[in-house]
């Protein structure tokens, strides 16, 4: 199983997302998880499981960034995508 977690910004929010990642890992122990996050939050996820891959996206995505982000996610052919952000743009 392949899982994508999207949490672009900010460091505190990234820290608060770690229990959600832990829960996903418990529920899907054989899954690989890609975290889409901004460069300021990369260090938060860098210490996590080896099954976690970090994909850098803009900290604060703008409308012009959405096609590239969307394309990255579609290429991943994920079984589950979790958006941990209130961004209307990223919901698209």
Query: Which tens digit of pLDDT belongs to each residue from 32-72?
Result: 999 999 999 999 998 877 668 999 999 989 999 999 999 99
Q: What confidence score (pLDDT) does residue 90 get?
A: 76
SS3 content of the chain, % helix, strand, coil (to 5): 40, 20, 35
Confidence of residue 77 (pLDDT cuts 50, 70, 90): very high
How distant, in Å, are the alpha carbons of 22, 44, 56, 62, 78 from that of 47?
13, 7, 15, 28, 23
CA distance 72 to 1: 17
Does 31 score more than 90 pLDDT? Answer: yes
Mean pLDDT of 73-88: 92
Mean pLDDT of 24-34: 94
CA-nearest of 51, 39, 49 to 7 is: 39
């Amino acid at each position: 199983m392949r899982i994508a977690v999207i949490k672009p910004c900010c460091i505190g929010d990234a820290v608060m997302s770690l229990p959600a990642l832990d829960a996903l890992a418990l529920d899907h122990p054989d899954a690989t998880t890609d975290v889409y996050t901004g460069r300021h939050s990369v260090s938060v996820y860098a210490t996590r499981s080896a099954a976690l891959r970090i994909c850098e996206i803009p900290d604060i995505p703008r409308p012009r960034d959405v096609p590239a982000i969307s394309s990255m996610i579609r290429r991943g052919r994920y079984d589950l995508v979790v958006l941990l952000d209130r961004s209307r743009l990223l919901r698209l």
